[in-house]
Amino acid sequence: MIDIEELSKRHLIPISLIIVSMLTFFYLLSFNKIFILLIAIYAFSVSILLTFIFTGRMFINYLKFRRFFKRLKKEIEKFKE
């Protein structure tokens, strides 16, 4: 079963970070000032980096659990024999 709290931590927070940073980026882009544009690019890149960190951690945990359940399945089959 999917845990709603974990789903919100793993997926919705990074997605909302990207959406907010994109909106901020396009809003600050309308001012046409170099300094504000650099701040907007920095915020956008940081949010993308945070998203990769969140999803990467989730993917690594998925691979660990998959290996664990494969080993557990083999042990159960050995025990049945």
The pLDDT tens digits of the residues spanning 24-74 come to 777 777 776 777 777 777 777 877 777 777 777 777 777 777 777 788 788
Among 2-11, 14-23, 51-60, 65-74, which is the least confidently predicted range? 2-11
**Contact status, residue 28 vs residue 37, Cβ threshold 8 Å:** yes
For tokens 């083999």, the residue is: 74
Position 22 confidence tier, pLDDT thresholds 50, 70, 90: confident
In angstroms, the CA 49 to CA 73 distance is 36
Domain enclosing residue 31, as ranges: 4-80
Position 5 confidence tier, pLDDT thresholds 50, 70, 90: low
For tokens 């994109």, the residue is: 22
Q: Global pTM? A: 0.40
Query: How many domains, in total, are found in the chain?
Result: 1
pLDDT at residue 80 in the model: 76
